[in-house]
Amino acid sequence: MIRRSLPAVLSLLLSSPAWAGQQTLFSFVRPTSVINVVTQDAGLPQYNAEQTAQGEVLRRVVFNPAERPTLRLTPQAGSWDWSAGQFLTLRLQSGMDWALSVDVVVQDSAGQTLTSRIDLPAGPAQTVMLPLTARSPLSQGMRAGPPMPWTYQGQRVLLTSSVGQVDLKQVTSVSLSIPRPNVAQSLLIERVGLQDDDEVFKAAYAGLIDEYGQSTRGRWPEKIDNDEQLKAAARREQQQLQGWLAERGKASLDPYGGLLAGPAFEAKGFFRTEKRAGHWYLVTPDGHAFFSLGVNAVAADGGRTYVAGREAMFKALPEAGKPLAAFYGQGNNDDGNASSQGRGFKQGRWYDFYAANLQRSHATPCPPAAGGQAPGECPAPQVDAKRWQAQAIDRVLAWGFNTLGNWSDPALGEAQQVPYTLPLSIVGDYASISTGMDWWGRLPDPFDPRFAMATERAVAIAARDHRDDPWLIGYYADNELAWAAPGGDPKARYGLAYGTLRLTTDVPAKRAFLKQLRDKYRNQQGLSKAWGIDLQAWELMEDPGFEAPLPNPEHPEIERDYQHFQEVFAQTYFKTVADALDWHAPNHLLLGGRYGVTSPEAVKACAEFCDVLSFNLYTLKPQDGYDFAWLTELDKPVLVTEFQFGSRDRGPFWPGPLELPREEDRGPAYETFLKAALAQPTIVGAHWFQYLDQPASGRLLDGENGHLGLVAITDVPWSGFIDAVRKANLGLTRQLAQRLQQPAP
């Protein structure tokens, strides 16, 4: 580590503010020694600053290949008082021909930190603004903010997010680091300053969404500028759909989309599973192999976004009394779950841009009044549900899909043209457990008798209208339950065991866990020896907040006990659901738990009681998301119930969990995923997430605003992606037919 005074830095209040409210704290250009500089695996290769191609004068810092090369700036004495500032501003430029990821850490005298990640693009210098209190696009109601950098008053500005908290009266250091560079990376720095108001931040989110629900900050080929474009796009698509549907009508498929090629399976009147020649298959009611190519959330209500309190974000919301004002509504998604924490604008008035665009595309003009009289008022506009449903079914089938995935409009399944799946939403007043994840809520306690009652009720309601429907493939046992917390540390892996032991004994799961331990160890002395702790009295484990020990090699029984409890817990859960389904819906499959973050114990128990294992895998290939060698040992069919590829160049600001550089990359990635899925003998289907892009300003549920869809918020399909998806779907169907026709080994 090198410590030195830097003569070419820091002239207080030296340069003119870039805009009102900004002051320069110190500059890397003028020679004044007012800070200390410490470098670790980094250096200042030359004494003088340098002039960029744009005429700006900045100082070069080189970050060498290491775990975390760092430049640390501290005051000559004492600490800085930044309490008057709202943003830390840095004038930065990548010294490379590519983008840099730069981490900035502000620390106070107590050791507290505020951290920001800067995704600094290549190109000219820009002003980077870091909030001095925790703030992110989520505070504005959305998962990801508008594209950066952005031009404000003639300057390129890059707003970042910040997490953590510091005492702004006692700031002791600012550190810049580049995580794990493979080669030396150069960063150019001019000045560090404070912004004492949030006018720039407000301006970044003002007028962000146009009247069609699209971003105003970009252009792309499918962007809509007027109603006539919407109507023309709908007419062109309708002609294309008819041609594709005619082609599908000539395919060798049974009514459910099963393959007529190859040897038939036994027809049993409902969907089922069967393993043949080492491969698992779904089998249609008519007895033909079926690879489920599905789309999630085929529904017309996905375009709703909260507008209350952030009206300035929207450029042209309809006024009261105007026809399109019919698409306002009220909601409240402040549910207390982790998915709503830290999010602003999560209740109140919302607007449905998708429904409004459907009205624009397909509205019928009011007929003129008879006898030359003035026309009367048109009825309030509303989405033509039957027309939308018919078009959605046509699209799904024309694009080569054969399944309506989770959260799709129930009326689409009732049309009996496309097989469908349904979720079981088990709600009740039963006990629950925090595993440290809790994104959608805490984990239900299956030892609580009230859970069994709630399950019985949920399954009975779900099965009431579908018990004898052959088009229903099966039911999911809820969605992405918090079986574990993210990460590889023991408290994440065994979050269920830890969370249970921290509860009071009025929680049935806690009593079940204590009984398991008492049956094994008899008393606190036996448990203390096995766990390597000094438990003075058994009753101490019954206290709320009991801190269980971490698993360790010297005491392997700790991990064995945690694993056994988590397995029994999961077995109890899935057996409860399976028993209710066997009673109320014996003809349909139990399609597993749609795992996000999970544990081996939960997966093993699901394989024991469910017909299919289901995973939401946001990876380039299914095999990248889970250990399929172990799944093969469980010998159960696997359904990929969510996968997705997104980009930032088509409107919504978040690319989703798996980002690709460009829209044009989504189609090849989709084809690669399907080929990998078909090559895995246990996989029986893959479902795309989702039908419609999320609103650029954030969906109602949790503020997600991803470019995930087959269709834009304007109801215009992403034509290049659709062409690639259709080709991949039809290609998989042909490959599966060829496999079925091969002689058995």
Query: How far, rounded to the nearest angstrom, does the alpha carbon of residue 169 sit from its chain's CA centroid?
Result: 37
Q: Is residue 668 predicted with pLDDT exceeding 60?
A: yes
Note the pLDDT of residue 654: 97
Q: Where are the strands (E) in 34-123, listed by range?
A: 35-40, 42-43, 50-51, 57-63, 70-75, 87-94, 100-108, 113-120
**What's the whole-number mean pLDDT along residues 211-224?**
96
What is residue 35's predicted lDDT score, i.e. its pLDDT?
Answer: 83
The residue-averaged pLDDT of 220-239 equals 95
Q: Are 361 and 234 in contact (CB under 8 A)?
A: yes
Structural domains in the chain?
2-205 (2.60.120.430)
Count of other CB atoms within 10 angstroms of residue 184 = 18
pLDDT score, position 14: 32
Q: Does 681 or 16 have the greater pLDDT score? A: 681
The whole-number average pLDDT for the span 540-547 is: 91
pLDDT tens column, 625-659: 999 999 999 999 999 999 999 999 998 999 999 99
Pairwise CA distance, residues 403 & 425, whole Å: 20
C-alpha 642/C-alpha 181 separation (Å) is: 33
Confidence of residue 513 (pLDDT cuts 50, 70, 90): very high
Mean pLDDT of 598-627: 97
Whether the CA torsion 425, 426, 428, 431 is positive or negative: it is: negative
Averaged pLDDT for residues 578-591: 97
Q: Which of 50, 37, 12, 8 is nearest to 193 (CA)?
A: 12
352-377: pLDDT as tens digits: 999 999 999 987 666 555 554 445 45
Mean pLDDT over each residue of the chain, to the nearest integer: 92
Question: What are the tens digits of pLDDT across the range 186-199?
Answer: 999 988 999 998 99
Read off the pLDDT of residues 100-159 as tens digits, 9 standing for 90 and up: 999 999 999 999 999 999 999 999 999 999 999 999 999 999 999 999 999 998 889 999
- pLDDT for position 590: 98
77-107 pLDDT, tens digit per residue, is 899 999 999 999 999 999 999 999 999 999 9
**Lookup: tokens for 172:** 């002791």
Which residues have CB under 8 Å from 247's CB, separation 6+? none
Could you report the per-residue pLDDT of 413-452, keeping only the tens digit for each? 999 999 999 999 899 999 999 998 899 999 999 999 999 9
- Mean pLDDT throughout 457-463? 95
What pLDDT sits at residue 708?
95
Q: How far apart are CA 588 and CA 616, in angstroms?
A: 21
pLDDT recorded at residue 45: 86
Q: What percent of the chain has pLDDT over 90?
A: 84
The answer to whether 439 and 338 have CB atoms below 8 angstroms apart is yes
